[in-house]
Structures are given as structure tokens and as C-alpha cells.
Chain A
Amino acid sequence: MTGANRIPGAGRLTPARTARFTFDGKSYNALEGDTVASALLANGVHLVGRSFKYHRPRGVVSAGPEEPNALIGVERDAARQQPNVRATVQEVFDGMKTISQNRYPSLSFDVGSINNLLSPFFAAGFYYKTFMWPKQAWKHIYEPQIRAAAGLGVSPKEEDPDHYSSRYAHCDVLLIGGGIAGLSAALAAAKTGARVILCDEQPEVGGAMHYDKSVTVDGVDGFTWAQKTAADLAKMSNVTVLTRTTAFGYYAQNFVALVQRVTDHISKPDRRLPRERMWQVRAKRVIIATGAIERHMVFANNDRPGIMQAAAARTYLNHFGVAVGRKVGVYTANDSAYEAAFDLKRAGVTVAAIVDCREKPGEAVLAEARSLGIEVLTGHSVIDTSGKLRVAGMSVARNGSSAKRNIAIDALLTSAGWTPSVHMFSQSRGKVAYDAESGSFLPGVYAQDCLSIGACNGTTDLQATIEEALAAGELMAKASGFEATGKVELQATNAFQWTGGMSGAAEGAGEDTTVKAFIDFQNDVCAKDIRLAVREGMHSIEHIKRFTTNGMATDQGKLSNLHGLAIAAEALGRGIPEVGLTTFRAPYTPVTFGTLISHSRGELFDPTRKTPMHALEEAEGAVFEDVGQWKRAWYYPRAGEDMHQAVNRECRTVRETVGMFDASTLGKIEVVGPDAAAFLNLIYTNSWDTLKPGRTRYGIMLREDGFVYDDGVVGRLAEDRFHVTTTTGGAARVMNHMEDYLQTEFPHLNVWLTSATEQWAVIAVQGPKARDVIAPLVEGIDLSNEAFPHMSVREGKICGVPTRLFRMSFTGEMGFEVNVPADFGPAVWDAIRAEVEKAGGCAYGTEAMHILRAEKGYIIVGQDTDGTVTPDDASLSWAVGKKKPDFVGIRGLKRPDLVRSGRKQLVGLKTKDPNVVLEEGAQIVADPNQPKPMTMLGHVTSSYWSENCGRSIAMALVVDGRAKLGQTLYVPMPDRTIAVEVSEMVFIDKEGVRLNG
């Protein structure tokens, strides 16, 4: 048995296929294809949650994604717990656990419901008024308390074990919505050969035919026709049909984001399947066929469990075979609710009465009600309801009269009319227009290549909808370049054409300030709250929305927006179009973070770039640091060493014997062409004409403003070929900078740039024994000082493979940088490593590299410079060609501010206590006893313990630094003040003799 309220013979589910699930620990049977809501209703469970603010008992209101009340937690296992799932959308699977939310200790007895009694104190705007003072309390008391009380569900604590996928797709025509309009349009478009994607949020297409079983298309039952049509479409090679797929965002140039729920309905999903798949669709044309959403009636206590949309009750009966009550009342301003009464009556349910606030309902439905023997009270309203955890009665009065009649019921179906779903159209930046005749906002001015059809376009007649859809499908395919070869024709019939509809408060909503006539169930916003907002001076609908929080819950006001607007318009004494509609924003329905992230997690969150020798360094025990996307060996601790000891050993070893270092991440750009030198003359401050092939030079690159942008060593391989190196972090932007100038400022030059960063593995060998280390491996290059002096480059072989061998140094020791094609890097590293071992050397990491270069006063652009440093500030004036007529930054360098005295200059700092290591970034002052705020002279840019110097060393930018050599300055720290002496930047081998070994 799958519930006492399951009507034999009703609905489209298969009775033999059942699933078991629990709700708040109690076990229930369901049919395959049930939603949690339909299964609970089948079992007579209407109470499914507590409201957000007042903790009022709430039941299922809808049968779709607009559901404001039935938000539940769905649990598969400990890590798979999804809060705030709409029970009206979530399909039941065998073994699923569900729980209610926002209640303690239980759903039927919730202590939070005290808020309902205290509700006079929680009027709209309550937070803004109450928590204003004392100001301090907001941060420490109010906000933490409110945050604890806020929200409905509880997020899972464990990492999400599911995976999500993403796919880009292109099509000629995208159809959003698979109701009769969407399917008809898809048929017409697909027939032309155009590429069509049709998505629908429900498990099965059919849209309104889920509830309206009176529809026939070409003589076939409408729902059956829809399934067959979708199946036929899916078989076509130019069509993709996606069910359980919600279009949630409509962006520029017809870029539409869809989320496909792949496994949430499956009991034991194939673990290879993603839980959800995001589709990012670029469509030449979009057809929006999103239908309409039924509004509830706004009257006193209209939120009791058992009170729901009339069409939802039809869906539960006609699709799921579930009667939502045994004695139902209907309260309506629209003909459509009559059909709910008819369907239920025919299924054997008692219909207590149809209460219609209109004097003149549609004649056809009125006649049908009479023939079925249903009492119809026209010109009457439901002014109140009774019942604790489920509606038990309704109070009915003639409009304008106070005489009440109480009618016992166990469900109340309401309809105030239908709101066209213009969400996607509005997201496309189209402008909606108010249609007074239907009392709804309809697509007005289009901003993108899309078209709305059917109910979301205000078209209500069935055959008219089909004609509109077929024409749209053909038109949009044609606009994408596909000509129709023949007409698609469809004939459809249904039982009734509906009339009526209203928005805003009905008779029973009361004029006073205490009646709770809900417009927004999820955020507990009542008609009175909107009126209060207007009384408090809110005139803009956007202000009213934020003051009352109407439409700001997870359902984004799918039921409430128009009601709120109508009540505001009435209170303001203005027309609805003058008050205007709030903006629709993505996502249409909530989307999981997993889907938005899709593949970008774990290893694939961001590319992790490793050098060719990474595995060897890892095997040697290297600790790596992140430098942008790169992993670089930071230091190589040996057994028993901490970082400090390892780095000290590495620094000492390089100066005493030899060290090897992976420099592969340095940016490399090959500059080729007859004008290569001319180009470099313009890009760098240095002069390159005089550089002979086979020689290298340190170059400085400025921005237009005259500040240092990058530096590096450039080798001339041939008259027309240079090997440029850049900083690791600067590689990509320097390439772009150079390409930008080449294409926009110097297009007359015959020169081309190619990134060669990853072509070469680079192994720096530095130290007195560097030559001894590489000599046995190198072929065809004379390594002597005379033949291969400092700042040279040669091409030859090492370990039998081609190399560009640089004689250069970033340590101040004699050094070589071995460039080999990257695949050979590991083998050459191994060979050099063996020679280094023999020489008593070691591998060193980036930390030692930083210290070794600081000992020599070599700057690191980006650490010792910060984009406000000129070559002169960094004592690099020697690298600026004085006779050069032009280079990037030459005019910037002449700006008054760049040549004035009193600029900050890069100098060395030595702490008076050699054991104290300054903090990088620490500020420098002349007099530590001056009143605060002190005059800052500059800051420390680099600071290290130098094992080779036996003391700490630092570099700093200091006002007039070079004029302060030998002076004592101070570095105030929170716990003490450190005295320092301004020094030169070179701490070791000032004469540079070690470079020559």
C-alpha cells in the first residue's frame, strides 16, 4: 500500500513499482515516479515544515519548483545531506531519508512557534528598528543570535563526495520548457534540420498536461502525445532532449546556463555518473515556453497545511493518483480551480463548496459544477480558516457581509489566477509590459534573439498556443538559416477556456494590522506587512521588497511578487504598472555549488605546473613552495634538519663548493628577426646593438610611466636571434607587454616573439666548483674563463643532447645555466647531480637562492620593487642607456616626480644586533621617540639570516637612502624597536672576483 489517499485507477504511476523512504524517521511507501510531496500526501501527511519567522505549521502548496513551504532535508548517507530541497521536485528513491526543517524538538511540537504568539513584535522592518542600538551589540550579540536563528536547513559538514560535470553546447534553437508549446515549437524547428536543444525541469515533458488531462492532440491524450513527441524528437540526430534540466540563467548573446539533475532520483546511482551536469548553451535563437504559475488566494490564515494551489491538487490526482483530501473546499477568483473540483469529484472526493469571490464566473464551468452537483458560492469569500496542524474548516461570508458560515473541510484549493513565467525573458534583459486585461506582466521589448510563446507570453487558448509555437519554431529556425520544407500541423482540444483572475488581497485579508494573510509563505510576509512598509514611507517596490523581504526567499517570490505589488499599488493609490515589477535574477531555482564549480575542484581546481625535474626533486626530499601556478623546490632538508638548518647548509655549500638549482620556471622568450636588436632597444633601457652574438647582458624593462616592470638576462644567439629571460611570475605578462608594443607601436619592425619558457629545462650550477661539475658532461664548448667569460652563451652538447649553455650567476659565484630541451631535463639533472655529489655539493632551493642573491645585492623585481621604483631608485642607472633616443618609459623617467630628490632608494640594512632578523615589510623611522603618527622613511623589502655573513642582512627602500649610508635608523616593532645601520646592498665579495671562479 502506497498511501490511503492513493485513488485506484487514477494517475500515471505504475502501482507495482514501489520504493520505501522515511520522513522524520517514519517509514513510508511510495510509487516510483512519486515526488516526496506526492508520496507524503498519499500517506495523508500534509504537515511538512515550519515557517521561517513565525514557525507556523506548513504544508505542501504546489506541485512544482515554485514551492515555498515544503523544503526538506534529503539524506543519502552521512556526506550526502542536502538541505532546503523542494519536496515537490525531489523524486523519491528507495532508501532515501528525508527530514523536516526549522523545528525543535519535533515538527508537530515546535518551541519556536512562540514566535507566532510574539508576532506583533516582529513586524516588517523589525530587524532594522530593533537592533539599531547600542551599536556595539550588533556585532557581538544581535548578529550572531540572528545568524543562529536564520536559515532553514543545515549544511552538511563533510566534503561533498559526489562529482559534477560541465558541458558546452551550441544549437540553432534552444527551447526552454517542454510543455505543449515547447514541444510544438521544437517539432517545427527540428523539421527544418536546425540543431535543437529542448530542456524541461520535470522528469517528464508535458508541462500543464501533468494536471490537465482533458487535453487531446490530434486525437491522442495530451500527456501521451507529449511523451511520444519527446521520444520522436530525441531520435532525431539534430535534436537533444534534456529532462530534469532547468534553465537557470540567461546571459548575454543567448548564453543560457542549464542544470541537469542526473542521479538525484536514483537509489543506487552508477558512481561514474555525475550528480548534476551543467550545460552552457550558446543558442542562435531561444524560444521561451516556460508556462505560468498559479497564484494562491490571499486571506486570513491561508497558510494552514492542506491549503494549496488548485492546479497542484489536480497534478496530485491526475498524475500521481493522490487525493489531497476527502472533503475539499475550493476558493477561487478564476475558472481554473473549478476543474480541480470537477476532477476530484469524479474521483469520488467530496467537494464541500466552490467559493468564488466573483459574481460572474465563467458560464461553462458554472454549468458543469451544477451538473456535477457541486455547491458554488459566487460573490463569497473565505475570510478565515481553522485547524491546528491541518486545515479543518473554512469561514465563508458573502462579500461585504459579516455573517459567516463555517464549512468543515480537510483541504482547501485556491486559485487567484496565473502568473506568466517571464523569469527567463526578464533575465535576458527584455522589458516586461503590464497587460491590464489579463492583469499580468508579459514580455514587452525584447533585448536578445528570443521569443516567448504560450502561457508565459499570455497566450491561454490551447489551439492558439500551438499555432503560435509552430510559427515560432519555424521562424527561429529560419532566422538561424534553416528553411521549412513543409508545415507541421496539430489540432488540440481541451475542456474549458478559463476566465477571471485577481492579484493582491482578497476580502478575507483584512484591513487591520493583525490579520495574517500570507503572500510570501517562505519569508512569512503578510498583506499587512506591505501596507506597513508603505505607511513607513517606502514608495519604490524595490524598497518595499527589501523592507518586508517579500520575494527574497529561495523561491524568489514565484507566488508572491504580483500579490505584493498589487497590495503596494493599492496602498500607494497608484496603478500596478506605475509601481513596477522587481527585477528577476539568476538562478531561476537554487543551483548547487557543486554544479557551478563542476570539474574545478581538487587537482583540477587550477593547473598545477611542475618543472620537468619535479619528480627527482621530490625524491630527494624537496619541500615545494607555490609561485603562481608553479611548484618550485623551496629547500632540500636532510634527515634531522629543519628549514633553517637546511637553507643555511645550502647557502654555505654554494659558496664553498657547488650547488645546483632548478631554474626552469624562468620566463623565456625567443626574439627572432632582422630587427630583433632594434626591438629590444625599444623595450629595454639598455642598449643591445653592441652586444655580440655569444654574449649576454642584464636588462631592465620599464613601463611607460618609467617604473621598473621586469628584469632578466638576455643572450644573443645570432645577429637575428635573442634568448630573453624574464622573472618566473612575469613570464606571461612580459610576453604580452612586448607583443602589445610590437603590434601597436612598432609594427614596422621585422621581428617575432615566441614563448620558449617550457621548451627548456634549466639547471643552474653555481659555486667555485661549478666548472668542474659540468666539464665532464659538456661537448664542443671551451669552458675556460678566456673562451667563455662571465655573461656569455654558447650552443653545444651536454650529456649528448643540445644545450644553450649560459655563463651567468644569480649568486655571485661562478655559474652556469644549463638549458636543455625539456624532455632531457631529468636525465641531465641526474648526471649533474652525480657530479655535484662528487664535488661535495648539493641541490638548493628557492629560499637559498633568495638569500644568495641578497648577499650580492641582486634585486628581485616585485619584491624589492613594487611598481613605484625607478632604475635610479634601485641603483640600476648604469643599465639605462644614456645615449638612447627612445625606449619604453624614457619620457616617464623625465617626469618631475621621478627626478626629484627625496625619493626612496634601495639600500642595505644591517641590524646593530647581528642576530636579529628584520621582518619584511617593517617600517623604518629616523627617531623612534617622535610622537605618533611617526614619519615613515621607508620599509624593509628583503630580510634574511645570512649564514655566509654570519649575521642578518636586509634590503630596504629608504628616503634618500644612499645619502644615509652609515647612519642609524630604527625599525619600531610591536614589542621592541630595532636599531639598524644603513649599508651598501652588497654584503659579500664587493669586488666580484668570485664570479670568475
Chain B
Amino acid sequence: MADLATRTLPLSGFHGGSASASVSPAAPASRLSLRAKPDAVASLSAALGVDLPTRPKTSASSGSRHALWLGPDEWLIIDETEADLLTAAVSSGVLHSGTDISHRNTALFVKGRGAEATLNSGCPQDLSLAVFPVGACSRTVFGKAEIVLMRTAEDAFRVECWRSFSPYVSGLLAEGAEDSGH
């Protein structure tokens, strides 16, 4: 059987934003929900090629691969080249749990001088640079949806959410972006 199945992305066709903040869907990526105890961190870091962060609200990146701290034993690994993360984690040989969630999540980029205000239309966290610097990440809320937020640049964020929440999240981001310039 040939590859008949084409992908339908949850946010295909979506574009939003304003002069102060653009909101655009991210390209597909591979994602791994990684769970492990502290003694496995070094081996998993080596196997994945990115140092798993151990401090709350921090992430680590290596090229197009990102490791986001979500909890004391929980990381979200994102690879923008869609590399096989599950196999890479297994190659560590240490005790862990890896679950492929590449299709569970989808992501949006919010960029521009109004990016912070756009996120703050629905996210109650303090997103100022001093408190939420580049590389900071957090599993948090955006309006009535759960998101994982990561600051990729001073004026840019990556917003991960479950796919069925993406119309809501993108819609609220679009309204927030519109308001962020005023």
C-alpha cells in the first residue's frame, strides 16, 4: 500500500494577527511526552542530544530540538524536523516513559511588539522579559484552554495546545493580537 494518506493540519488555512502581533500556525513537528526520574536525566539528555532542564519554567534547545520542563519528572520534547524522538529516547537504555504526542498537540507562533499583550489577553502569568525571559516555558492557561507557552525571542512565543482546542486558542489569540496594538 502506497502512502495514500495525506496530513490535514488542524489549523490549515488559519492566519490572524495585527500590525502589532502576528499569529501563525507552526509547521508539523514531532513531540514526545517524556517522563523520567532524576537519575535518568543525564542518559536521556545524551540520547536526545539536548540537556533536559531541571529548573521550573526553563527549556533547553539544541538546533531545532527543544526540551521544555513541565514538571519534576516531565518534559515536552519538540523536534521541528520531525525526527523520531521515541526511538532516540529508547536508545538511552534508562528507565523512562515516552509517548508520541506529535499529533495531539499543535502550535502557533505569536510574534511582534504586541506578542506579550496578545498572550496576556488570556494568560494570567507575568510575561515580562525579566520574569519570563527568552527560553522560559510554562504549562499554563489561556482563557479556557490549557497551553504550553515558550518564549522563543524577546518578541516571540510558541503556543502549544491540544489540537481540538486550537480553533479556540487561535481565535482568542487573534482577538488578543488585535487589541495588543492599542
Pick the contact of A824 from B5, B162, B165 — CB < 8 Å?
A: B5
Q: Which residues B63-109 have CB closer than 8 A to chain A?
A: 73, 95, 97-105
Bound complex: CA A647 to CA B2 (Å):
35
Given contacts A609-B164, A754-B97, A758-B162, contact A604 B104 (CB under 8 A): no
Instruction: Provide the B121-148 mask, 1 if CB < 8 A to any CB of A, else 0.
Output: 1111110100100000000000111000
The closest CB in chain A to the CB of B168 belongs to A607
Bound complex: CA A750 to CA B125 (Å):
33
B179 A277 Cβ-Cβ under 8 A? yes
Bound complex: CA A529 to CA B161 (Å):
59
Interface centre among A163, A674, A821, A825, by most B CB within 10 Å?
A: A821
Instruction: Provide the A586-625 mask, 1 if CB < 8 A to any CB of B, else 0.
Output: 0000000000000110011011111110000000000000
B5 A828 Cβ-Cβ under 8 A? yes
B124 A282 Cβ-Cβ under 8 A? yes
Given contacts A282-B124, A828-B5, contact A607 B99 (CB under 8 A): no
> Which bucket holds chain A's interface residue count?
35 or more
Instruction: Provide the A776-799 mask, 1 if CB < 8 A to any CB of B, else 0.
Output: 011100000000000000000111
Chain A neighbourhood of B8, CB < 8 A: 612, 823-827
Chain B neighbourhood of A752, CB < 8 A: 35, 73, 97
A604 B97 Cβ-Cβ under 8 A? no
The closest CB in chain B to the CB of A277 belongs to B179
B163 A612 Cβ-Cβ under 8 A? yes
B5 A166 Cβ-Cβ under 8 A? no
Bound complex: CA A750 to CA B36 (Å):
9
B58 to chain A, nearest CB (A): 19
A823 B7 Cβ-Cβ under 8 A? yes
Bound complex: CA A801 to CA B8 (Å):
13
Q: Which residues A741-798 have CB closer than 8 A to chain B?
A: 750-752, 754-760, 777-779, 797-798
Instruction: Provide the B170-182 mask, 1 if CB < 8 A to any CB of A, else 0.
Output: 0110011011001
Chain B neighbourhood of A825, CB < 8 A: 8
A800 B99 Cβ-Cβ under 8 A? no
A85 to chain B, nearest CB (A): 23
Q: Which residues A628-673 have CB closer than 8 A to chain B?
A: 629-630, 670, 672-673
B167 A608 Cβ-Cβ under 8 A? yes
B152 close to A (CB within 8 Å): no
Given contacts A166-B122, A752-B97, contact A758 B103 (CB under 8 A): yes
A599 B10 Cβ-Cβ under 8 A? no
Given contacts A170-B126, A799-B4, A827-B5, contact A758 B179 (CB under 8 A): no
B98 to chain A, nearest CB (A): 7
Chain B neighbourhood of A167, CB < 8 A: 117, 120-121, 179
A822 B163 Cβ-Cβ under 8 A? yes
Bound complex: CA A825 to CA B182 (Å):
41
Chain B neighbourhood of A799, CB < 8 A: 1, 3-5
A600 B144 Cβ-Cβ under 8 A? yes
B72 to chain A, nearest CB (A): 11
Given contacts A168-B124, A758-B162, A831-B4, contact A823 B103 (CB under 8 A): yes
Chain B neighbourhood of A273, CB < 8 A: 182
A603 B171 Cβ-Cβ under 8 A? yes
Q: Which residues A165-195 have CB closer than 8 A to chain B?
A: 165-170, 195
A608 B97 Cβ-Cβ under 8 A? no
The closest CB in chain A to the CB of B2 belongs to A800
B104 A800 Cβ-Cβ under 8 A? no
Given contacts A755-B104, A759-B104, A827-B4, contact A599 B165 (CB under 8 A): no
Chain B neighbourhood of A346, CB < 8 A: none
Pick the contact of A166 from B97, B121, B145 — CB < 8 Å?
A: B121
A2 close to B (CB within 8 Å): no
Bound complex: CA A797 to CA B3 (Å):
10
B29 to chain A, nearest CB (A): 12
A670 B102 Cβ-Cβ under 8 A? no
B168 A758 Cβ-Cβ under 8 A? no
B128 A195 Cβ-Cβ under 8 A? yes
Bound complex: CA A919 to CA B164 (Å):
34
Bound complex: CA A750 to CA B97 (Å):
9
B45 close to A (CB within 8 Å): no
B9 close to A (CB within 8 Å): yes
B16 close to A (CB within 8 Å): no
Bound complex: CA A152 to CA B1 (Å):
73
Bound complex: CA A168 to CA B128 (Å):
11
B120 A168 Cβ-Cβ under 8 A? yes
B53 close to A (CB within 8 Å): no
B102 A821 Cβ-Cβ under 8 A? yes
B104 A672 Cβ-Cβ under 8 A? no
Q: Which residues B29-73 have CB closer than 8 A to chain A?
A: 33, 35, 73
Bound complex: CA A820 to CA B182 (Å):
44
A318 to chain B, nearest CB (A): 32
Instruction: Provide the B1-24 mask, 1 if CB < 8 A to any CB of A, else 0.
Output: 111111111100000001000000
A254 close to B (CB within 8 Å): no
A696 to chain B, nearest CB (A): 18
Given contacts A754-B33, A759-B104, A825-B8, contact A600 B179 (CB under 8 A): no
A883 close to B (CB within 8 Å): no
A822 B103 Cβ-Cβ under 8 A? yes
The closest CB in chain B to the CB of A672 belongs to B97
Bound complex: CA A752 to CA B99 (Å):
10
Chain A neighbourhood of B100, CB < 8 A: 759, 821
Bound complex: CA A920 to CA B101 (Å):
39
B6 A608 Cβ-Cβ under 8 A? no
Chain B neighbourhood of A538, CB < 8 A: none
Interface centre among B121, B164, B178, by most A CB within 10 Å?
A: B164
Bound complex: CA A723 to CA B165 (Å):
23
A165 B179 Cβ-Cβ under 8 A? yes
A262 close to B (CB within 8 Å): yes
A280 close to B (CB within 8 Å): yes
Chain B neighbourhood of A262, CB < 8 A: 182
Given contacts A170-B126, A612-B10, A823-B103, contact A607 B120 (CB under 8 A): no
Chain A neighbourhood of B172, CB < 8 A: 599, 604
A821 B99 Cβ-Cβ under 8 A? no
A160 to chain B, nearest CB (A): 15
B8 to chain A, nearest CB (A): 4
Interface centre among A610, A755, A823, by most B CB within 10 Å?
A: A823
Chain A neighbourhood of B98, CB < 8 A: 672
B111 to chain A, nearest CB (A): 18
Bound complex: CA A674 to CA B36 (Å):
12
Given contacts A823-B103, A826-B8, contact A673 B97 (CB under 8 A): yes
Bound complex: CA A189 to CA B1 (Å):
70
Q: Which residues A20-34 have CB closer than 8 A to chain B?
A: none
Bound complex: CA A199 to CA B3 (Å):
60
Pick the contact of B121 from A165, A282, A673 — CB < 8 Å?
A: A165
Instruction: Provide the A943-973 mask, 1 if CB < 8 A to any CB of B, else 0.
Output: 0000000000000000000000000000000
Given contacts A607-B144, A750-B95, A821-B103, contact A282 B126 (CB under 8 A): yes
B57 to chain A, nearest CB (A): 15
B132 to chain A, nearest CB (A): 10
Chain B neighbourhood of A608, CB < 8 A: 167-168
Given contacts A272-B178, A750-B95, contact A604 B143 (CB under 8 A): yes
Chain A neighbourhood of B128, CB < 8 A: 170, 195
Chain B neighbourhood of A611, CB < 8 A: 164
A815 close to B (CB within 8 Å): no
B167 A169 Cβ-Cβ under 8 A? no
What 3 pairs across the A-B complex have the smallest Cβ distances?
Answer: A752-B35, A609-B164, A800-B3
Q: List 9 A-B contacts (CB under 8 A).
A: A168-B121, A273-B182, A600-B144, A604-B143, A606-B144, A612-B8, A672-B35, A821-B100, A824-B5
Question: What is the interface of chain B, defined by CB distance below 8 A to chain A?
Answer: 1-10, 18, 28, 33, 35, 73, 95, 97-105, 117, 120-126, 128, 131, 143-145, 162-165, 167-168, 171-172, 175-176, 178-179, 182
Name 15 extra pairs, CB < 8 A, besides A599-B122, A629-B164.
Answer: A167-B179, A169-B120, A170-B126, A272-B182, A280-B124, A282-B126, A599-B172, A607-B145, A670-B99, A672-B97, A758-B162, A801-B5, A822-B104, A823-B28, A824-B7
